[in-house]
Amino acid sequence: MATSICKAQIPLSCQLCNLRIAIQWKCTECELLMCDNCKNNVHSRIKTAEKHNIITILEIGKDLSERLKALQISEVFSSVFNAYTTELPGIHKLICCADDIIYFLNSISWEECSILKAKLLKASMKIFKKMDIQCVDFAISFNEEILFAPLPGSKLIAVTTTTMETKTVLDVSPNKILAIYMSKHNELLIGLRDNGKKFPVTDSSTRQVAIFGTDYKHRSTFERDGTGKRLFNYARRITTDSANNIYVIDWINDDDDEHIGRVVSINRNGSNRFVYNGCASFNTHEAAFNPEDIAVSSRDTTIISDCDNHALHVLSANGELIGLQITKNFDILYPCSLCIDNEGFLLIGSNVNKNAKIYVVKL
C-alpha cells in the first residue's frame, strides 16, 4: 500500500538547458520556463520567437489569475483565519468533529505513523492523545471509535480512544483496504484493491468502492459502469455529498515522486456523474494534477487539494471548475489533507519536512 511521501522543495530546472539554476522567464506561447541565458541565446533563435509573449516569473501568478478570471473561475479564500503548528512532518488526514475536536494522521512512514486527537483553541491547539497506529487512512465511527486498516490491510480494526481496546469488525480478504470514510448517513465506504501489484491495472484487477452499514454488513459494491468500463484505478480518498453521491480521489499511476490522479463521482446506482482531470490552464505536463484529499461543503461544492502544485480546486455539484487557489501565495505549501468543520471553515493540513501546519480558512 502506498504512503504519502514528504518531499523537499526542489527548485525547478530551466526547460531548455535542464540546469537547476534561477528561472527568470516564461514564454506563454511555448509554455516554457527559462533561465536568463536561454531566453536570450536559445529561445530568441526560434523563427517565430519575436511574436511570443515573454513574462517574468513574478508575473506568472498574475497571468494565471487573469486567465482564470476570463474563464469565470474565482479564488477559494481571501485570507487565513488561523494556523496551528505541529511537530510532525505531515498532516495526511484530517477529520473534524463537534466542539472543535479534530483527529489527524501523520503517516510519513510505517516507522513514524500516528493518529492524534486534539482541540482547536483560539491561540493554540491542545493535544489530548497521540496513538501509534499504522495506517494510510482512518475514519471515526458513529460511536466514536477509530476505524483503520493495519498491514497487510485486509482487516478493519476499531479502537476506542479511552481504553485503546481493539477489535476486528470487518475482513475483506483477499482484498486490501485503501480508503475509509464514514458518511453523515452512518454508512461506511471503503476503497478496495486486489492483493496483486498496484499498477498496472489489468482487466482482472479488483478496484472497488464498497458500502457497509453500521453493523458492518455489506450493502453494495461499485467497480464498473453500465458499459463494463472500470470506474476506479486506486481509490485514495472517498467522500459523499448531501444527496449521497460518491466522490473518489483516484490515482492512475505509481510514480513515487508524483501520483497523477483524477476525481471520479458516481451516484448510488453506480452511474458515472463526472470525471475531473484537473484544470487545463493550470495543470500542464510539468504541473500534473496531483490530488491528495477531497472535502464537500454544505452546498455540495467539492474542494480538492492539488498537493505538489500548492493549489486547491473547487468544483460545482455538476463537476464544473468554479474555483482555483494557489495556496503558496498564502505561504501554504503542499496542501495535503482537508476537512470542513461545523461552522463551514476549511481546515488544510500541510505535508512538509518539518513542523507541518493546520490552516483554517473561510470559504
Q: For residue 62, is it within any domain?
A: yes
- C-alpha span between 324 and 77 (Å, rounded): 9
Q: Does one domain contain both 135 and 203?
A: yes
- Kindly give the residue spans of alpha helices, DSSP state H, lying in the chain: 36-41, 60-70
Instruction: Tell me the helix, strand and coil percentages in the chain, rounded to 5.
Output: 10, 40, 45
Same domain, residue pair 355 and 226: yes
Measuring CA to CA, how many Å separate 252 from each of 48, 200, 258, 274? 37, 9, 11, 16
According to DSSP, the residues that pair with 340 across neighbouring strands are 346
Same domain, 206 and 351: yes
Among residues of the chain, what percentage have pLDDT more than 70? 88
Distant-in-sequence, close-in-space partners of 46: CB < 8 Å, separation ≥ 6: 30, 52
Residue 15: predicted pLDDT: 82
Q: Are 4 and 90 a contacting pair, CB within 8 Å? A: yes
pLDDT score, position 9: 34
User: Do residue 248 and residue 304 come from a single domain?
Assistant: yes
346, 360 in Cβ contact below 8 A? yes
Where a domain ends, among 20, 35, 66? 66
Residue among 227, 238, 292 at smallest CA distance from 260: 292
What is the end-to-end Cα distance of the chain in Å, rounded?
33
Q: State pLDDT tens for residues 326-358.
A: 999 899 999 999 999 999 999 999 999 889 999
Residue range 152-162, pLDDT digits in tens? 799 999 999 88
pLDDT of residue 10: 37
Residues of the domain holding 49: 10-66
* pLDDT the model gives residue 32: 80
CATH assignment of the domain containing 15 = 3.30.160
Regarding pTM above 0.85, the answer is no
**CA proximity to 360, closest of 175, 125, 166, 137:** 125
* pLDDT (tens digit per residue) in 46-86: 755 567 888 876 666 566 666 666 667 888 898 999 999 99
Question: Does some domain include residue 16?
Answer: yes
pLDDT at 67: 66
**In the chain, which residues have pLDDT < 70?**
1-13, 20-22, 47-50, 57-71, 110-111, 254-258
> For position 4, what pLDDT does the model report?
31
What are the pLDDT digits (tens) for 7-20? 333 345 678 887 76
The residue assigned the cell 482482472 is 204
Within this chain, do residues 148 and 223 fall inside the same structural domain, yes or no?
yes
DSSP 65: H
How many domains are contained in the chain?
Answer: 2
Answer yes or no: do 112 and 186 share one domain: yes
Q: What is the pLDDT of residue 1?
A: 28
**Beta-carbon count within 10 A of 273 CB:** 14
161 in any annotated domain: yes
Whether residue 1 lies inside any domain: the answer is no
The predicted pLDDT at position 358 comes to 98
Q: Examine the fold and report which residue of 66, 96, 114 is the final residue of a domain before the chain moves on.
A: 66
Statement to judge: residues 321 and 229 lie in one domain: yes
